[in-house]
Amino acid sequence: MAGGTTVLLAGAISDACERGLAEVDSLRGYEAYKRNFTSEQHELIRLRAAAGWLGRLAMMADREASKAKTLVGPLVRRIAWRPET
């Protein structure tokens, strides 16, 4: 049985097809539900570049912040989640 989200997504995709659109961008991630709507997938590649020392410094800071977010994010979500009592 399809859930409400699946029915809503299927309707939106069907409407887009009727309007002549040929692709759906489900953004990044490999969630299982996305495979229900497609026969193909495209790899997402991120290319970043910096010019000069200030640009390289900014890019390095951003990269380190992303690493920290990846490491700390699950911990913060676990601490913030409070089951109902």
**Strand (E) positions, the chain?**
none
pLDDT of the chain, 85 residues: tens digit per residue: 467 777 888 888 889 889 998 877 777 777 777 777 777 777 778 888 899 999 999 999 999 998 888 888 777 777 766 666 5
**pTM of this prediction?**
0.41
Domain ranges for the chain: 4-35, 46-85
Report the half-sphere exposure of 15 (CA within 13 A, side-chain side): 6
